[in-house]
Structure 1
Amino acid sequence: MTDTLWPSREKAWSLLTEFTQNPQLIKHALAVEAVMRQIALQHGEDVDLFGLVGLLHDFDYERFPEIGQHTIEGGKILAAAGFPDRIIRAIQSHVSENHIPRETLLEKAIFAADELTGFIVAVTLVRPSQSLSEVTAQSVKKKLKDKSFARGVNREEVYAGLSGLGVTLEDFVPFILDALKPHADVLGLNP
């Protein structure tokens, strides 16, 4: 299902690359976009809408990394660029400190997809081959228990995201891996 009410992906990409220079943050945006599109497909939702939220969820992070600014300042930029409230609210809801209740599937999906997708990429990058094919739900679960690994990932938010989306770690990790594999070359996860 495609809704012509959404701005184009090209417009979103232009904003992302204007505000984000770090190649790893751009890869993260692409990874979360891929996962969000698959969630939309799985639930019969608008793939373009979910993809835009995934692509743009952290577009303002380099310029506004502070809590209270990240996604809030970005929301102002998105509104000025003509992005609808539905997209802005979903993006702002993925930051817990904004205290925006996650009510819709779109809001729950971006919260669940963001941290865990980033974590799975980190797990992949420490594998000898740096290939998604070596990552399993069990290896992700083991790394989640290792508090010294990827310290910036909030484990409580990972599990809260899973709960909000109504999925288990054992089911969602393979889902994310399957969503990422077609994009592995672009993401640098299939050397």
Structure 2
Amino acid sequence: MINRITVGVVDAGAAGAMADGLADVLVDCVEGGASVSFMSPMDKQDALEFWRGVAAGVARGERVLLVARDQAERIAGTVQVVVGQPPNQPHRADVSKLLVHRDYRRQGVGRQLMEAVDQIAAEAGKTLLVLDTETGSDAERLYERAGWQRAGVIPDFALKPHGGLCATTFFYKHV
């Protein structure tokens, strides 16, 4: 059975209340090999601290947090739109930490989250989005299918969570 997934914006209070579920998604992604700034083994306390920081950024209006949940309200995935940019870049936002729990992959969750990113960015008056991802990853293919343009690849940009260097591809999209 395919889960029905809903995607919504989460305010700072709800982000704090969801920190445990969000931490589970982050830990799952890192342990599954996703290169998303953390190393394996991923400590749940470190993941909780990360999400507390995200909630604080949401409270300051620096970022928008989107969360995908199934019918039982289990968190399937998440992504952030970093709208707080320097004064010379008010038209731009960064897309950060697209995470989909392995239990929900290949069900359109990432696509739904990225469609919501486009809508949120447009509502915030952003006309240019940028992101980076591990070269050769499933996420890279997702972004290409969603109309993102490849800007370039930097070799040996980051460490994979289980060790070893990986290249990073930078993308942009006009919305």
Task: Compare the two structures and name the one with the higher strand fraction.
Answer: 2
Taking structure 1 as the reference length, the TM-score comes to 0.32
Task: Compare the two structures and name the one with the higher helix fraction.
Answer: 1
Taking structure 2 as the reference length, the TM-score comes to 0.34
